[in-house]
């Protein structure tokens, strides 16, 4: 048996060592690759990284040029004779990744390690083994979700591979109060490595619209408050607005400066209030979470401003209740310092 060891790559982003061994009579070959360090970045699309367009893949479009005369259809040439079967030289490949390597492909940023074994025979190629993915993150809807569990496995049940990634994002206390105390939202990707299917769960986001509403506006898809009618009222964001906000959160995050906002019409405000959006609440929380700025508009009412700006200092900010002191300034030239209390029920 002959052995040879090559160090094929040693750069700032990767370090890979490969060793070869050839069996007696050169009838079999074994390659061992050890990935010592790897930082793989695969952007969404490279320049000219798309498939060239084939106008007539089936030959049903005929081009008239100097070699072809109009009115005469070309005669298809007989198919070539089948080539004799070619025997493959048996080969065993083992890829070892003993330490965590980085794999960055939008929207995933993962750390993985493990071992993959590949056996090439006349009957086909068999891949076994897998990678454990203990660390990573997902950037979705403008928010970062942390990886809590992940693995890529090749087995008898899934010979072409099975990828499963579980991501979670902890909600702010204000978001938890809007969702009756739910703390986290979850995104799961499961399926073949080339096309894993996402599944949403937690935080009332069993549907895509629920997830977009929660991430883009900080509210569930359907707004609730005491004495709000059970039937749907006019509100914002709604419909395709959620898709637009999700796109902006991913590609233009600097244009979204509010953490939570909602606008709606309350039919109990007056006879002409049905369908008229006169209520709005917008909120921006500090990075530490100890203070917030709120903007509120409401229909004209005795003793209250129709537009108001508020600054609050959060003394207690929990998933079911919030308490603090704040300063108010309104359109009726009134305001002052006061205490506030917010509470959310279990349902």
Residue 31 belongs to some domain of the structure: yes
CB count in 10 Å sphere of residue 261:
21
- pTM score, two decimals? 0.71
Residue 72 has pLDDT above 70, yes or no: no
Residue 153 has pLDDT above 70, yes or no: yes
Return the structure tokens found at 39: 């930082």
44-48, 65-69, 114-118, 120-124: least confident range = 44-48
pLDDT attached to residue 10: 44
Residue 138 belongs to some domain of the structure: yes
pLDDT attached to residue 311: 93
Chain centroid to CA 211: how far? 11
Q: What is the mean pLDDT of the chain?
A: 79
For residues 169-180, average pLDDT: 78
The enclosing H or E element of 251 equals helix 240-251
pLDDT attached to residue 121: 85
Higher pLDDT, 203 or 321: 321
Residue 115 belongs to some domain of the structure: yes
Higher pLDDT, 230 or 200: 200
Residue 162 belongs to some domain of the structure: yes
For a pLDDT cut of 90, what percent of the chain falls above it?
19
> How many domains is the chain built from?
1
Residue 16 belongs to some domain of the structure: yes
**Structure confidence at residue 44 as a pLDDT band (50, 70, 90):** low
Return the structure tokens found at 105: 């492909």
pLDDT attached to residue 48: 46
**Structure confidence at residue 9 as a pLDDT band (50, 70, 90):** very low
Residue 195 belongs to some domain of the structure: yes
For residues 285-300, average pLDDT: 89
Among residues 180, 179, 196, the alpha carbon closest in space to that of 188 is found at 196
Residue 326 belongs to some domain of the structure: no
Residue 80 belongs to some domain of the structure: no
pLDDT attached to residue 24: 60
Instruction: List the domain range (segments joined by +) for residue 151.
Output: 1-42+89-206
22-36, 50-64, 119-133: least confident range = 50-64
**Structure confidence at residue 132 as a pLDDT band (50, 70, 90):** very high
For residues 152-157, average pLDDT: 92
């Amino acid at each position: 048996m002959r052995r040879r060891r090559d160090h094929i790559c040693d750069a700032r982003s990767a370090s890979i060592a490969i060793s070869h061994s050839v069996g007696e009579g050169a009838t079999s070959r074994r390659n061992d690759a050890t990935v010592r360090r790897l930082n793989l970045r695969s952007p969404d699309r490279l320049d000219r990284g798309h498939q060239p367009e084939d106008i007539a893949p089936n030959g049903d479009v005929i081009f008239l040029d100097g070699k072809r005369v109009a009115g005469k259809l070309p005669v298809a040439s007989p198919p070539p004779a089948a080539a004799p079967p070619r025997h493959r030289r048996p080969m065993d490949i083992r890829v070892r990744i003993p330490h965590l390597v980085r794999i960055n492909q939008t929207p995933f940023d993962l750390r993985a390690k493990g071992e993959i074994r590949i056996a090439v025979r006349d009957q086909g190629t068999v891949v076994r083994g897998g990678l454990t993915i203990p660390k990573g993150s997902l950037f979705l809807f403008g928010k970062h979700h942390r990886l809590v569990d992940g693995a890529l496995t090749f087995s008898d049940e899934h010979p072409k591979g099975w990828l499963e990634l579980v991501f979670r994002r902890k909600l702010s206390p204000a978001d938890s109060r809007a969702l009756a105390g739910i703390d986290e939202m979850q995104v799961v990707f499961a399926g073949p490595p080339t096309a894993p299917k996402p599944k949403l769960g937690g935080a009332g986001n069993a549907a895509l619209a629920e997830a977009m509403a929660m991430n883009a506006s900080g509210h569930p898809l359907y707004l609730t408050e005491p004495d709000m009618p059970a039937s749907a009222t006019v509100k914002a964001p709604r419909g395709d607005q959620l898709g637009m906000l999700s796109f902006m959160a991913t590609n233009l995050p600097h244009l979204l400066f509010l953490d939570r906002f909602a606008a709606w019409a309350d039919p109990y405000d007056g006879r002409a209030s049905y369908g008229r959006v006169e209520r709005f609440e917008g909120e921006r929380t500090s990075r530490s979470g100890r203070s917030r700025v709120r903007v509120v508009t409401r229909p004209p009412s005795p003793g209250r401003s129709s537009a108001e700006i508020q600054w609050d200092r959060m003394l207690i900010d929990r998933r079911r209740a919030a308490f603090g002191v704040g300063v108010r300034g309104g359109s009726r030239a009134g305001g002052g310092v006061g205490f506030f209390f917010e509470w959310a029920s279990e349902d």
